[in-house]
Amino acid sequence: MQVTVYHNPRCSKSRATLKLLAERGLEPTIVDYLRTPPNSATLEKLAEALDRPARDLVRTGQAEWARTGLDIDAADDAELFDAIAAEPILLQRPIVVVDDGALTRARIGRPPEDVEAILP
């Protein structure tokens, strides 16, 4: 089983989620997505694993969102994934992905306890 966390070290929710995982004995692969931004294809897979629409991955309160000129309700998934790939600060955080080989599931850790639903 592989556990991956899309992590922003400056985010308290992200740090709390890592702590929660450590308390459960899990050692996730940590992706600092601001330094290593996911591409559009990876973001599409994250949305599928989350079972949520692309718009749920976007932090629309960020100044970078306003600069995209996109309308969250009118933009299609590809536009949203491209916007996040170009400005990774727009990605909701943290995202925990659990892949057991047969099934990939993910949750956004807001609050951090939400990820418990997909943990072994």
Residue with tokens 């966390």: 5
Q: For residue 81, what are its two tokens?
A: 């994934």
Question: What CA–CA distance (Å, rounded) separates 65 from 15?
Answer: 23
Q: Name the pairing type of β-strands 29-32 and 104-108.
A: unpaired
> 39 catalytic, yes or no?
no
Q: Are 67 and 86 in contact (CB under 8 A)?
A: no
| Model confidence pLDDT, tens digit, residues 46-79 | 999 999 999 999 999 999 999 999 999 999 999 9
Give the active site residue among 2, 6, 11, 40: 11
pLDDT of 120 above 90: no
Q: What is the pLDDT of residue 104?
A: 95
90: closest CA among 45, 57, 49?
Answer: 57
Query: Does the pLDDT of residue 31 top 90, yes or no?
Result: yes
Q: What is the pLDDT of residue 78?
A: 97
**Residues 9 and 106 sit within 8 Å (Cβ to Cβ):** no
| HSE-CB of 45 using CA atoms within 13 angstroms | 11
